[in-house]
Structure 1
Amino acid sequence: MRTRARQRAAAEEDLRPARWPPHWLRRATLLRLAAVGALLAVAAAILWSAEPVSPCAPATASTDGPSPSPSVSPSATLTLPAGTVGVPVRLADPAALTAVRPGARVDLLAVPPAGVQKPGGEPLLLAGRALVLDVLTGDAGEIGAALYLALKPAQAQATIAQPEGSRFAIVVRE
């Protein structure tokens, strides 16, 4: 105990000047703290000024170039023209999906299964010059690789009414 008391007494009698600023508050440390503060202020300003993006915004895209992503991309779809409905169609040959892009026009053909097919096996034209809204490739849930087409309601009903096992094909127009 006497040593602590002696140290206190010696500290009280010490008249040497104290260092200011303390070692943790030197110029380099202050510059670092100012830089971090400035970066945080810029990040907060960027986040504050960003417009919120609604996940339900209407999807529109340009019609030039292929679909930007190998999966379903809502931003790559075109809007439905008036008087049409959107119908996803699986093609018999998924490789045909590489030949089309959103905005292209295609003829949709159907070949009924062998038991239902008429003699001669002529394919049935379901829709002429149908607008391709999107090309769905890869694993897109239940649909898989398909075309999303804009069809008139009568054409959509004829497409959906095809017997199970029908194969669909397209002829690219543009």
Structure 2
Amino acid sequence: MLSALVKRWRPETHTFVMPVGEVKVAQEDMLHIFGLSINREVVTGWTDSSHDFLVTQSLAIFGSEPMVSSFSKSYIKILWVRHITDTQPLDTWESVKRYVRCHIFCLLGTTLFADKSTAYAHTKYLPLLQNFNQIGNYSWESACLTHLYMSLCHTSRYDCKEMDVPLDLLFVWAWERMS
């Protein structure tokens, strides 16, 4: 099914060309599938891949130095983040916020902005998790939809050998929308 969808993807229009016409994953689908709210603040920012940035952000969000990927210093191991949630006591408000941030970081790296490696999540999401009260005000559905479109555009190129698409979103959308 995924191959069939990718073959029908048109990067120029960000739509799937089907026998019945053009269809696309829309913001309303994001609301329906993931429960993400529409019309919030734009998810934007800059990415710093320096080691100092990574350590500073990780200490602020997770409370300890990160276990990074051996192939890229811009990725944090999801198992390390899950270990934090499993071992930290939830006895203070700060520890509860840390626990929630860890879960959100895992959700961002493995579901909403998934790539072919679900073992790591990119550090670019860390600054978005710093202000705990702001996390729910971001337009995550727009960012996730943009990520899906970019992934499908990349995957539909003739020279692409591996699919790097958020599969959960695409499969649920196809299940819901295609008869």
For normalisation by structure 2, the TM-score amounts to 0.21
Q: Write 1 or 2 for the structure with the bigger share of strand.
A: 1
Q: Write 1 or 2 for the structure with the bigger share of helix.
A: 2
For normalisation by structure 1, the TM-score amounts to 0.22
